[in-house]
Structure 1
Amino acid sequence: MLFSSPAFLFCFLPIFLVTYFLTKEKYRNALIFLFSIGFYFIDGGFFTSILLASVFINFWLAIGISRMHGLRKTLIVAFAVTLNLVPLFFYKYWMFFLQSFNDAASVIGADIHVVIPEIVLLSGVSFFTFHAISYIIDVSNEKVRPEPSCINFGMYMTNFPQLIAGPIVRYSEIASQVNNRLPNKRDIFLGIFIFIIGLSKKVIFADSAGNIADRIFDESSSSLSTAMAWVGAIAYSLQIYFDFSGYSDMAIGLGKIMGFNFPENFNQPYRSKSITEFWRRWHMTLSRWFRDYVYIPLGGNKNGQSRTLTNLLIVFFLCGLWHGASYTFIAWGFYHGLLLIIERILKANFNFSPSGALGQIITLILVIIGWVIFRATSLPLALHFIGVMFGMDSASNSLAPIINLFTFDVAVYFLAALAASLIPMELFEKFSYKNQHSEVIVKILIALPLFVFCLLLIADNGFNPFIYFRF
């Protein structure tokens, strides 16, 4: 169920919130668990049983691990991590693995062909798998105590705001809030405001930019011009940022209404002055997850430059693969890994780090090129698209096809999205309110028209799936 769908906005969410605030505090975790399972079942059907199995298995494994020591504990942790990866591998990567096997056999001339079954992607599997693995490892390392209540743990694992597409919330980040939260009126109001801002990012910015990106990326290669290629690449860059950050804001807002403080997931990544900074601002919960559970266990930066660079490449190969079972995602991961390696080498050997306006411009261009690889349906198409962007294989220099893409309202949304992604938010944070009452009035004056406008757009244009629902 999409957060931007009428069924969610006018049925599921109001029923949940009314029931939630009418329920005694000690029963609210059970209520969240119940509604979250229902939320998943509406679209997931049978797959809900896999999610529930993950909840119960990880609950008991963590309790068992907390009582073990030495080699036995290490083996059980390894078993638990492997067990969690099985659904992820099967539902997300098994078809790709078989296709890669067939491709490799074709390259070496072997007369082998494996039949590839059709496997439906298990919604949210990447996210709830990472939740479970982080919980198991943190319990093993005694960073958190195992949750004694299966209901509370189930609530953490299935919490519907962040179940399908994050942010990746570690149990340690909300452990103190599981049994001790009572949102006040200001938190509830702020949560509603953040939710509406996220909805606006999705419906106004992401969907309008996505419409342009889809039309250009679907354009025949023979009619693609350099200018059109750049507009398409920029449009997709805006789409994926506002789509995913919009979802994250909506999840964070819903969490705050319930009394949870979910971690921020984006911090204006397109203002970054280096690729290193970009990954400190983009999908921050994923970056920290790979840092803490992959990069550091591999040795991090403690075993010399060559090992550090190798670790970076491994992490970003996995990061690309996490996003999807495709050569383009792997190439995108390697692309960012290589850019980070270049920055590390420049810093270590020449004491040079990208900075200033030039650093921001170069970083933005590199990120946009990366999104072309991410968006393209194949590597040859990605390379052709990038070639057209830089003047190779361009069929036409006419601006007419681009002008036809932009109605007045779409052009306004597009320019507003550009401004919102690049103008420093610190400028707005300097604005001070005389008192809390003034803050509430200002935010109502912002949120209410935005919400009404979003509803009008949804009624007129429908609603599109979130991009990260596919990951």
Structure 2
Amino acid sequence: MSQLLAALPFLTPYEKPFYFVLIAVTFIPSIIASLRGKRLLWYQNLLTVLFLWMGFAGPNISQGIALVAYLVWQTVVAQCYFRYRQTGNRAGWFYLSVVLSLLPMILIKLLPFVKEGQPFLYFLGYSYLTFKSVQVVMEIRDNLIKDFRWQHYLQFLIFFPTISSGPIDRYRRFVDELKKPPSKEDYVILLNKGVHAIFMGLLYKFIIGYILGKQLLPIAQDYALHHDMLLEGSIAYMYIYSLYLFFDFAGYSFFAVGTSYLLGYRTPMNFNKPFISHNIKEFWNRWHMSLSFWFRDYVYMRLMFTLLKKKVFKSRIVASNVGYFALFLIMGIWHGLTWYYVVYGLYHATLICLTDAWLRFKKKHQEKLPSNRLTHALAVVLTFHAVCFSLLIFSGYVDVLFKQLF
């Protein structure tokens, strides 16, 4: 027993089969209660402490301390801004609260450029918690959150099935389900979906993802660098990496969503067959949906509102294009302050602007342009290749290639 307890703190979420054994065993009381139409909130809190301890204790204790400090910081910021909004409405306090919510993530991103190594503020999942925190501040400002309680806010932030890599839930939806557990009938459906999602995750991440990432990807890179097959190896690497990234991340998302379902929460799905998209805009409505919808709602739409309200640009099209470039530049920089992430963001902004231009042209000349299954299939193929090329940029492969060749 002591050896088992000693091994627990070294478990990263969803990385080893034993993690799922723990879920199967420790979730039993919660599942039984949910099948009776009840929610054991005290037990859910106990599970949260247990699973967070497993991820942030032992060698990751510094991350655990950083997480606690982060939670205190964000709770104080959100609580103070909510109290202020009860009596005041100055825009300056809103912008200050947003900046304070973003500050830990900004420092974590920038400090490595000042000093090598991970900053003392770093912990697994800090970006996704920051997105949640900023979301809450913005919705308090918009008067969408009328009843803010720090206890609910903490449970929203540290909901352990999604804490490390999302999906990014919405505060009001989560709190509604926190207060009102699903009925017996609804939970049976959720339970079935949860088990199915976890098995899909096992297939995606541990079988398909493993074959692509551990077996095929190194072979493609080796051929590109050491067998005088640079073009062929690079093309193979592009396709294999794109598929690997999808199956690995979608597999993780299945785990997070399935585990949430077992607890009685309808956490949103993150992927919806993105490689069948017929243009790049549809792709972003299917790929990492919780992140793309977050950027759409809390960055792009607000930026567009400001540009149009202030009449910065006379043309709505110009304003939209500027908004896309700002949005994807921010998204690229969020992934990392390296040139290929920036190029990745600018590449997608360019594709979306071109797609918008094509859709306007197509609408204007729809009687002259063919539209059938063949043209749709062609659009899907072209979009797939455009996406794969963007993910090749995203992977940093080109950077590695140049360093090894030159």
TM-score, normalised to structure 2, is 0.81
Distance change (3 Å), C-alpha of 1:356 and 1:10: same
Instruction: Find the counterpart in structure 1 of residue 55 from structure 2.
Output: 40
RMSD: 2.8
Cα pair 2:224 2:234 within 8 Å, conserved? no
Cα deviation 1:194-235 (Å, max 9, x = unaligned): 111112100111111112123323545362343333222111
Instruction: Find the counterpart in structure 2 of residue 459 from structure 1.
Output: none
Structure 1 distance, partners of 2:103, 2:47, is: 27
Gaps of 5+ in 2: 1-11, 34-38
Please report how far the alpha carbon of residue 85 of structure 1 lies from its aligned counterpart in structure 2 after TM superposition: 1.9
Please report how far the alpha carbon of residue 30 of structure 1 lies from its aligned counterpart in structure 2 after TM superposition: 2.5
Instruction: Find the counterpart in structure 2 of residue 117 from structure 1.
Output: 116
Instruction: Find the counterpart in structure 2 of residue 336 from structure 1.
Output: 348
Please report how far the alpha carbon of residue 380 of structure 1 lies from its aligned counterpart in structure 2 after TM superposition: 7.8
Cα pair 2:67 2:123 within 8 Å, conserved? no
Instruction: Find the counterpart in structure 2 of residue 346 from structure 1.
Output: 358
Instruction: Find the counterpart in structure 2 of residue 178 from structure 1.
Output: 178
Cα pair 1:29 1:155 within 8 Å, conserved? no
Output the amino acid matched with 1:265. Answer: N
Cα pair 1:201 1:243 within 8 Å, conserved? yes
Is residue 2:29 matched to residue 1:9? Answer: no
Is residue 2:270 matched to residue 1:269? Answer: no
Instruction: Find the counterpart in structure 2 of residue 361 from structure 1.
Output: 381
Q: How does 1:289-308 map to 2 (within 5 A)?
A: 289-299=294-304, 302=308, 304-308=316-320
Instruction: Find the counterpart in structure 1 of residue 98 from structure 2.
Output: 81
Is residue 2:33 matched to residue 1:30? Answer: no
Distance change (3 Å), C-alpha of 1:68 and 1:167: same
Q: How does 1:117-156 map to 2 (within 5 A)?
A: 117-119=116-118, 122-150=123-151, 152-156=152-156
Structure 2 distance, partners of 1:35, 1:307, is: 48
TM-score, normalised to structure 1, is 0.71
Output the amino acid matched with 2:104. Answer: P
**Identity %, equivalent residues:** 23
Cα deviation 1:232-265 (Å, max 9, x = unaligned): 2111111000111111111110000000001111
Q: How does 1:385-424 map to 2 (within 5 A)?
A: none
The count of residues paired between Structure 1 and Structure 2 equals 365
Cα deviation 1:35-93 (Å, max 9, x = unaligned): 34324314632222332233233334333323334876533332222222222122233
Structure 2 distance, partners of 1:286, 1:383, is: 32
Output the amino acid matched with 2:211. Answer: S
Cα pair 1:372 1:382 within 8 Å, conserved? no
Structure 2 distance, partners of 1:219, 1:325, is: 29
Structure 2 distance, partners of 1:56, 1:157, is: 11
Please report how far the alpha carbon of residue 377 of structure 1 lies from its aligned counterpart in structure 2 after TM superposition: 4.4
Is residue 2:316 matched to residue 1:313? Answer: no
Instruction: Find the counterpart in structure 1 of residue 217 from structure 2.
Output: 213
Distance change (3 Å), C-alpha of 1:19 and 1:379: same
Identify the structure with bigger relative contact order (alpha carbons < 8 Å, sequence gap 6+): 1
Structure 1 distance, partners of 2:210, 2:135, is: 33
Distance change (3 Å), C-alpha of 1:62 and 1:380: closer
Cα pair 1:36 1:159 within 8 Å, conserved? no
Match of 1:250 among 246, 249, 255: 255
Structure 1 distance, partners of 2:242, 2:133, is: 30
Please report how far the alpha carbon of residue 325 of structure 1 lies from its aligned counterpart in structure 2 after TM superposition: 2.9
Output the amino acid matched with 1:10. Answer: V
Gaps of 5+ in 1: 99-114, 386-471
Cα pair 1:265 1:282 within 8 Å, conserved? yes
Match of 2:71 among 44, 47, 55: 55
Cα pair 2:139 2:145 within 8 Å, conserved? yes
